[in-house]
Chain A
Amino acid sequence: MTELERQQWDVVVVGAGGAGLRAAIEARERGARTAVICKSLFGKAHTVMAEGGIAASMGNANAGDNWQVHFRDTMRGGKFLNQWRMAELHAREAPDRVWELETWGALFDRTADGRISQRNFGGHEYPRLAHVGDRTGLELIRTLQQKIVSLQQEDKRELGDYEAGLKVFQECTVTRVLKKDGRVSGVFCYERESGRFFVLEAPSVILATGGIGKSFKVTSNSWEYTGDGHALALLAGAPLVNMEFVQFHPTGMVWPPSVKGILVTESVRGDGGVLRNSEGKRFMFDYVPDVFKEKYAQSEDEGDRWYEDPDNNRRPPELLPRDEVARAINSEVKAGRGSPHGGVFLDVSTRMPADVIRRRLPSMYHQFKELADVDITAEAMEVGPTCHYVMGGIAVESDTAGALGVPGLFAAGEVAGGMHGSNRLGGNSLSDLLVFGRRAGLHAAEYAQRLPARPAVDEAQIDAAAAEALRPFSAEGPEAGAAPENPYTLHQELQQTMNDLVGIIRRAGEMEQALTKLAELRERANRAGVEGHRQFNPGWHLSLDLRNMLLVSECIARAALERTESRGGHTREDCPGMDREWRRVNLVCRLRQEDDAAAGTAGVTGRIRLERRTTEPIRADLLALFEKEELIKYLAEEELTE
């Protein structure tokens, strides 16, 4: 039996981004003793990187907006693959979630009559994004962080201890979700600073770990985005859904190399920025797909008029959903019409006065000035697609955010799948965090309180988790005495593989190649070794994260190979069209049942098993929100007649 510290909590939240913090607030307010555990310092989560805003149909900028319109936009953006009940809940509840932030001290930009200002964004019919300049994510995380502090102050007043009811374990990593008799019983963790292991025993665990971007070379995501929650869920027996859908944000920085991939917010386009190729042409007009033909401007003049008069003009095609814009940029660069560093030009300097740019896009101005020595008020930015978001994730029940098949396990935010279908609209992630973070917290607290007896922790699982975590210190090469693998090298090879072979444009042969390479990397990762000791050792941490990145990478590659169509964030060069029959199919990834040791050795092709699942038909009243002509483009014949 491994000797380590154990603590008992009602709810454990893994991840302290927007979803995790919102979940923790809700669970604590429902009376559950809640622990939050996060890899970074409190308040540093990747949510701070969100720039544009929170999508919520408050109707402050255009009174025509309501939840039905928001729902419609979300479904269109996701090419109707969305788990429709999630999209419905999301559209209905988002305004309340935003307003609630104000009561916790958030300060959004205002309209002239003092309400929350809302801005335009790709795929949204009306100006809908509540924002604070271009640092909305920071405002969100800080507001939630300060709300948590305020709850802790309450606990201090009543119970004499700040951490009596809500505690943040910062700079700690969870490596396993523990289970007993099929139910969640806790998590196994290590403290990054000391390398010390500990166990948090809890009947409810909420995964809110974000995405998987660090499996790709060019990404807007931070080091934390190693797919931990996805992997923890898989290892705990929960399925992942829609993993083939990875969003490449159309505008990431492309130069200098060290910042390649860092995001350039969509607000640049929402506020008037335009995309041009090396010939100076606004090429997006050539890339409006048929399903969107009626919704977008056909000429530059009309597009330009829209910024002033959105009711009588159609929006410019720069504001198409992200997948369309990313593919268009990719095509332009491939056709030799790219910018010097392999992107295209994004220009605001000729569209707005310098002081307006500095006021509306302060952090973009700052980012380009400081990192690329480019003054965006005077010259165009160079941008290109960057891996940004995974639509796929843990398959959850829409109302409760509970992971399918694992009682006590919940998921919210980017780590949960389904909500965004095959492509997420900008602004919908922050609202997703709040809506489903709250729901996860609510249901996790209820589940913990309803459970008559707490599942005990299985000692054997703790021993196994400890042994697994310590393996990198005793790793050896393929022959005894040979040097172990360098985790940094393995990580680089993985990123290169995913970027080149399962990237923005996919082909069957390349993905098969990727799967072979992933199998090889997995085997080598078992031999990843590190120097030094357990105290704040980044090499060790990376060795442990490799397991997670390899698992999610395999999910992405397998699902992408299986889906023989192009839809949203999944583009197959060999299957270019969208196929209505595929709309009803979700691809579900599960862990193979072989034991760990066998799966790691050569000969076993992979650890992931794919299943096809038919989606639930969309409820009739929601379907009625769309025109018949539009539905024909997406839905199969029999779905329409039903």
Chain B
Amino acid sequence: MTHEFPRMTGSAFAPDWFETMAVNASAAERRAATLTTRRTVKKEFQAAWLARAITCIDLTTLAGDDTAGRVQRLCAKARAPLRGDLMAALGLDQLTVGAVCVYPTMVSHAVRALEGSGIPVASVATGFPAGLTPLPLRLAEIRYAVEQGAAEIDIVITRELVLTGKWQALYDEIRQMREACGPAHMKAILATGDLKTLTNVYKASMVAMQAGSDFIKTSTGKEDVNATLPVSLTMVRALRDFRERTGQWVGFKPAGGLKTAKDAMNWLVLMKEEADVRWTMPDLFRIGASSMLGDIERQLEHYVTGRYSAANRHALA
């Protein structure tokens, strides 16, 4: 991944950037609903957008039954997400997903499997998904994952600090996590399904960015409600505001619930319209998903052949 801009440093804790913010939920829902009806992408443009979406996927396995073998299989798919003949037909010579995302104990398997591919390994950490283990253990877990070779760490925030409005404490905690990450990029998972209100989502986004998160991410995938367009819209507007204030570029990662090629298109439209085209590139945009890739493959095959495709024609992850 090449960076055209310096890495995020965050800012001092500045509550006045978000304290008076109130997100109007119904207006956010209206905008989210019309975003996807105001824009559509067809034919070769659609194919290109879907190919772009593949490069933004954090191909993920976060299950209790993960094994080295399962992770190796996932990594093989990450290296070659699209069948060779389809690649050729699309005129693409090289295409990989954005990253492979696993639990800390799976990092070493993934690192080995991805050696030489340039694909970063992302690890969840900090007592994922609830994030309620003691802070020293959470920080130690980050360091462990980095030592294992993770280039990206997906941390979870302490929801209690949001729900009770302890913003300074939230800032301090995320700052420590960022320090623990060292050179690894940090994605802060807000678990927006637990935060409930869009105003909470905005405030938590702002604190996470002030504390130096490289990415803000919606969900662990384990909450009742995962990434939605209104939540994503709110977070994207927060990172836009943060960029206006600091000049820093923060990435965005919706995760959980994005399953179809249509979802990928919708979120890319959101990024392009509400942030900028630059935010449709994998260094600033990731999609946390496990099943979305399969649907994109089938859509791309349809584009190439004109026939509707079936899942069994594409390699499993």
Q: Do A and B bind each other?
A: no
